Amino acid sequence: MRRQLSVAAAQVGGIQPGETREEVVRRLILLLEEAAARSTRLVVFPELTLTTFFPRYWAQDLASTDRWFETEMPGPSVQPLFDRARELGVGFYLGYAELTGDGHRYNTSILVDSTGRIVGRYRKIHLPGHARPVGDEQAPQHLEKHYFEVGDLGLGVFDVDGVRIGMCLCNDRRWAEVYRVLALQGAEVVVLGYNSPLGLPGWQPEPHHMMSAHLLSLQAGAYQNSLWVVAAAKAGVEDGAEMIGGSALVSPAGEVVARATGTGDEVVQTVADLDLAAAYRAEIFDFEAHRRPDQYRLITERTGRGAPVPVPGQVPEPLTGHGPRIATTTQETR
Ligand code: CDV
- The active-site residue, picked from 124, 144, 188, 266, is 124
Ligand 1 atom with the smallest distance to the CA of 142 is 7
How crowded is residue 23: how many other Cβ atoms within 10 Å of its Cβ? 12
How crowded is residue 21: how many other Cβ atoms within 10 Å of its Cβ? 17
Q: Answer for the pair 173, 44: CB distance below 8 angstroms, yes or no.
A: no
Query: Does residue 47 have an active-site annotation?
Result: yes
Q: Residues 127-156: pLDDT tens digits? A: 999 999 999 999 999 999 999 999 999 999
Q: What is the mean pLDDT of residues 205-209?
A: 87
Asked if residue 21 belongs to a domain, the reply is: yes
Predicted pLDDT of residue 207: 82
Q: Residue 27: which of 38, 43, 6 has the closest Cα?
A: 43
Tell the burial category of 300 from Cβ atoms under 10 Å away from its Cβ (0-12, 13-18, 19+): exposed
Asked if residue 223 belongs to a domain, the reply is: yes
Q: Best substitution site from 109, 127, 175, 194 to test ligand 1's pocket, by max atoms within 8 Å of Cβ?
A: 194
From the CA of 63, how far away is ligand 1's center (Å)? 24
The total of structural domains in the chain comes to: 1
Predicted pLDDT of residue 315: 75
CATH of the domain at 226: 3.60.110.10
What residues make up the domain containing 58? 4-293
Establish whether residue 107 lines the binding site of ligand 1, counting it when its CB lies within 6 angstroms of any ligand atom.
no
From the CA of 209, how far away is ligand 1's center (Å)? 14
Tell the burial category of 64 from Cβ atoms under 10 Å away from its Cβ (0-12, 13-18, 19+): exposed
Q: Residues 216-236: pLDDT tens digits? A: 999 999 999 999 999 999 999
Asked if residue 219 belongs to a domain, the reply is: yes
| pTM exceeding the 0.85 threshold for the entire prediction | yes
Establish whether residue 174 lines the binding site of ligand 1, counting it when its CB lies within 6 angstroms of any ligand atom.
yes
Asked if residue 11 belongs to a domain, the reply is: yes
Asked if residue 308 belongs to a domain, the reply is: no
Ligand 1 atom with the smallest distance to the CA of 107 is 1
Asked if residue 176 belongs to a domain, the reply is: yes
From the CA of 270, how far away is ligand 1's center (Å)? 25
Q: Residues 167-185: pLDDT tens digits? A: 999 999 999 999 999 999 9
Residues 6+ apart with CB under 8 A from 89: 36, 41, 114
Residue with CA closest to ligand 1 atom 9: 171
- The active-site residue, picked from 47, 98, 144, 238, is 47
Asked if residue 306 belongs to a domain, the reply is: no
Asked if residue 300 belongs to a domain, the reply is: no
